[in-house]
Amino acid sequence: MTEIAILGYGTVGSGVYEVLKTNRDSIDKNANDEIRIKYVLDLRDFPGDSVQEVIVHDFDVILNDDDIKVIAEVMGGVEPAYTFVKSALLRGKSVVTSNKELVAKHGAELLSIAKEKNINFLFEASVGGGIPIIRPLNQSLTADEIYEITGILNGTTNYMLTKMTKDGLDYDEILKDAQDKGYAERNPAADVEGFDTCRKIAILVSLAVGKQVDFEDIYTEGITNIGKDDIEYVKKIGKSIKLLATSKIDGGKVWARVSPVIIGEENPLSMVNDVFNAILVKGNVIGDVMFYGKGAGKLPTASAVVADIVDAVKHLGRNIMTSWSTEKQNIIDIDNVEVSKFIRVEYNDKEKAVFAVKKIFGVSKIIELDSISSEFAFISNADVEKAINEQIDDLLNSEAVLNIPNTIRVENYSNPT
Amino acid sequence: MTEIAILGYGTVGSGVYEVLKTNRDSIDKNANDEIRIKYVLDLRDFPGDSVQEVIVHDFDVILNDDDIKVIAEVMGGVEPAYTFVKSALLRGKSVVTSNKELVAKHGAELLSIAKEKNINFLFEASVGGGIPIIRPLNQSLTADEIYEITGILNGTTNYMLTKMTKDGLDYDEILKDAQDKGYAERNPAADVEGFDTCRKIAILVSLAVGKQVDFEDIYTEGITNIGKDDIEYVKKIGKSIKLLATSKIDGGKVWARVSPVIIGEENPLSMVNDVFNAILVKGNVIGDVMFYGKGAGKLPTASAVVADIVDAVKHLGRNIMTSWSTEKQNIIDIDNVEVSKFIRVEYNDKEKAVFAVKKIFGVSKIIELDSISSEFAFISNADVEKAINEQIDDLLNSEAVLNIPNTIRVENYSNPT
């Protein structure tokens, strides 16, 4: 028998508790051991709930109990999670976590403590909810040199973009709908501004390159500037907008970016709709491989946490995770990364504005919508972002151009000039 | 340093050799050991090729060399692979293989020898080429009770069906195209008759239920009866035809089937086109999770073989795979499995034929194509297959019905009557 503790009885914590009870027989069989929940740490009491028997309010009870071999941290946030997890690892207890802030910020240090102590710090649930991605990156794709990881890593924003595309609603209406459905928080910033996605791609890239990628270094843009007109344009050209976390790895050179991107049908991520997440990994041997599933929610996340508990129990006293070093990985400024942009142009003289686009960008193909007057859009050729932005400034200086209502990055577009 | 041998220098074997050379540094880092190819077994010589230095023609050289700790079997076919692999495992050498025939037929026995000897028998490459699926099933989805596995497991037939859908060509033309491109063998039976897919789903279900599923027990139907008219009908209703391997697990009750199935856009497998494969797994906690990538080919398959070599090297003397027992898993006869069918009706009197369909199937909605006269199609309500087949016999007995040109199973269709 192995005794474990769960830190936090919120959405994920109660899911973990429930799954360990419901699937007890098959889980014990997979772990080749009996897993017993001895403590659940929460500030609250839950009278009338079976969990009350194991509720404790003081982390030290868990820390000082030598029978506890594995701890599941599912509180979220950097503190006090970091203090709790670090002290638990230092005491020789394996820790599994769903906490992306914690892993993105302190992953390298916590992994190194686990390695030193010959125990485990596992975090499958921190990226992609239930989707197996950390373990495949760590154990399955070991023959490959990974050169790209691109993901739809946030279910809330993917739901919103899908719904905007289907229903033609505008951003504010969709946000309200997502909040009413419980998919978006009352304060939606972490999702819609891309912060959540940013932490997740930082974790994946750190794992792929073996060095610490600071999430603060990753250019991050959310979906708050995407409106129904943008969606209309993109539908017209048979493409879709996704909030993508993208990273490319070329030897020691690494860049990463979170932003809305226009992608075509040929990209398998274009098929990922609603609250689903997916991670597309490209390796120099395997080619493209994609992992798809529910990226959030009580049970999918609990599935990954419990799978990590099983792995931790199976590997007591044996470190199984590849760690990444605390050495900082430099990230190339996206100014120097090549990109195409979809650019909307509001004009007072169409002919002159089209001429200006042709002159500055070398592009003559424009896209127009019946629903918007005095405006067209076009897609630039690929160039480094800095150069494209300078061209946009030039365009804004043309007399015929009144405004650039929006620009959105475009993947892999070879422009027919 | 760990010394290994490769059995077979065909497509996959040469891929494994090449990948171990090309990605040597990263692979050794992932294995935390230096992996060195000491022997490659092949009947042929390869003068002028660097592999010639390590070519041997006699398996006993490898078997009797105590320095060889890991063997990659990539010859294919049951014999002599089975004899070689079994004797290697009995000598305490771990074996990794891409050989689906071998694993489907003798997996239980070979896994049990590996377990007893505290070594490993790994076979990630036997299903889905490079796509990680065996390891995720074994190690990532351990919190879940798996109740369904459905996959597109054969790239050749998926390419053919995709191409038929895009180009409107008929089966024979497409087969010739696939053969010309090297996607299909001159004798295409293993692919187009579904035999390859059948062995792969047998492996996945055996792993999921922990008992031996004999592939001979799985109902298997290929794509040879799918013509361009079928494709036209299915396009008209906004769906697609895929060769699916499906299995459902409900406690002790298990069924499995390989056949063309009509699926809708809501099924993520509908997005899997060309030579790509995907496996959709459903668990009672995680919900739907899908693994997508290239299911065949020299390098993707080599990626999985080499990842298994890395895992075997990392776990010398420690068995890591869940095994399945040699106890036979009974499979429910598909006669007793519920299904809907798409049914084409050639008539001499349309009104009477429609009336017969309404009377026998309770369905009044029919689908017609401009390109086919004296014919319509409909989709039956769900019932056990035996009952549907009896209804089809009844329909054939109606005077107004001349022929039933084809029937195809339909997934999850609730018929509007």
Angle formed at CA B257 by CA B252 and CA B262, multiple of 5 degrees? 125
Q: What is the pLDDT of residue A343?
A: 98
Q: What is the pLDDT of residue B295?
A: 87
Q: What is the DSSP letter of A367?
A: B
What is the average pLDDT value for chain B, to the nearest integer? 95
A25 vs A122: CA distance, rounded Å: 23
In this prediction, what percent of chain B has a pLDDT beyond 90?
A: 94
**Do B84 and B90 contact (CB within 8 A), yes or no?**
no
Whether A31 has its CB under 8 Å from any CB of chain B: the answer is yes
Which residue matches tokens 């120097």? A336
CA distance A113 to chain B (A): 19
> Is the pLDDT at B244 greater than 80, yes or no?
yes
pLDDT tens column, A76-101: 999 999 999 999 999 999 999 999 99
Task: Determine which helix (DSSP H) or strand (DSSP E) holds B3, and give its type and residue range.
Answer: strand B2-7
B205 vs A25: CA distance, rounded Å: 19
Q: Could you tell me which residues are beta bridge partners of residue B410? A: B262, B340
Q: Smallest Cα–Cα separation from A130: which of B25, B339, B282, B179? A: B282
pLDDT tens column, B14-41: 999 999 999 999 999 999 999 999 999 9
CA distance A219 to chain B (A): 28
Which residue matches tokens 């074996």? B95
- Quickly state the pLDDT bin for B189 (edges 50, 70, 90): very high
List, for chain A, all residue ranges whose pLDDT scores fall below the cut of 70: 413-417
At residue B98, the 3 state secondary structure works out as: coil
Q: For chain A, what's the residue count? A: 417
Asked if B143's CB is within 8 angstroms of A140's CB, the reply is: no
In chain A, which residues have their Cβ closer than 8 Å to the Cβ of B299?
285-287
Q: What is the DSSP letter of A58?
A: -
- C-alpha torsion A123→A125→A131→A133, nearest 10: -20
Q: Report, as an integer, the average pLDDT of B148-161.
A: 96
A315 vs B123: CA distance, rounded Å: 22
Whether A24 has its CB under 8 Å from any CB of chain B: the answer is no
Whether A131 has its CB under 8 Å from any CB of chain B: the answer is yes
A331 vs A384: CA distance, rounded Å: 15
* Beta-strand relationship, B338-347 and B383-384: antiparallel
Q: What is the pLDDT of residue A281?
A: 97
Which residue matches tokens 């493209």? A288
In chain B, which residues have their Cβ closer than 8 Å to the Cβ of A150?
none
Mutation target for B interface from A6, A30, A35, A144: give the one with most B CBs within 10 A: A144
Residue A335 φ/ψ, nearest 5 degrees: -50, -30
Cis, peptide link before residue A188, omega less than 30° from 0: no
Asked if A271's CB is within 8 angstroms of B286's CB, the reply is: no
**What amino acid occupies position A297?**
G
Residue A308 φ/ψ, nearest 5 degrees: -65, -40
Domains and CATH numbers, chain A: 2-129+299-325 (3.40.50.720), 141-294 (3.30.360.10), 334-410 (3.30.70.260)
Q: What is the pLDDT of residue B405?
A: 97
Q: What is the pLDDT of residue A417?
A: 44
The residues near B335 (Cβ < 8 Å, ≥ 6 apart) are: B384, B385, B386, B389
Extended strands (E) in A237-365: 240-250, 253-263, 276-283, 287-294, 325-328, 338-347
Q: What is the pLDDT of residue A168?
A: 87
- Write a three-state SS string for A184-220: CCCCCHHHHCCHHHHHHHHHHHHHHHCEECCHHHCEE
At residue B105, the 3 state secondary structure works out as: helix
B7 vs B55: CA distance, rounded Å: 10
**What amino acid occupies position B358?**
K
Residue B186 structure tokens: 């001159």
- Confirm whether A105 is a catalytic residue: no
Angle formed at CA B114 by CA B280 and CA B22, multiple of 5 degrees? 65
Q: What is the DSSP letter of A222?
A: -
CA distance A279 to chain B (A): 10
pLDDT tens column, B338-381: 999 999 999 999 999 999 999 999 999 999 999 999 999 999 99
Q: What is the pLDDT of residue A354?
A: 97
Q: Up-side HSE of residue B188: CA atoms within 13 Å toward CB?
A: 22
In chain B, which residues have their Cβ closer than 8 Å to the Cβ of A304?
140, 143, 286
- Dihedral angle sign, alpha carbons of residues B266, B268, B271, B272: negative
pLDDT tens column, B209-223: 999 999 999 999 999
B321 vs B116: CA distance, rounded Å: 12
Q: What is the pLDDT of residue B417?
A: 44
Asked if A284's CB is within 8 angstroms of B23's CB, the reply is: yes
**What amino acid occupies position A117?**
K
Asked if B284's CB is within 8 angstroms of A22's CB, the reply is: yes
**Do B31 and B62 contact (CB within 8 A), yes or no?**
no
Q: Smallest Cα–Cα separation from B302: which of A149, A248, A284, A136? A: A284
At residue B56, the 3 state secondary structure works out as: strand
pLDDT tens column, B56-96: 999 999 999 999 999 999 999 999 999 999 999 999 999 99
Q: What is the pLDDT of residue B106?
A: 97
Long-range contacts of B354-361 (CB under 8 A, 24+ apart): B355/B400, B356/B395, B356/B398, B356/B400, B356/B401, B357/B395, B360/B391, B360/B394, B360/B395, B360/B398, B361/B391, B361/B395
Whether A110 has its CB under 8 Å from any CB of chain B: the answer is no
Q: What is the pLDDT of residue B416?
A: 44
Annotated catalytic residue, options A93, A105, A200, A294? A200
**What amino acid occupies position A193?**
E
Q: Up-side HSE of residue A169: CA atoms within 13 Å toward CB?
A: 16
Burial tier of A366 (Cβ tally within 10 Å: 0-12, 13-18, 19+): middle
Q: Could you tell me which residues are beta bridge partners of residue A276? A: A294
Q: Report, as an integer, the average pLDDT of B163-170.
A: 92
Q: What is the pLDDT of residue A413?
A: 47
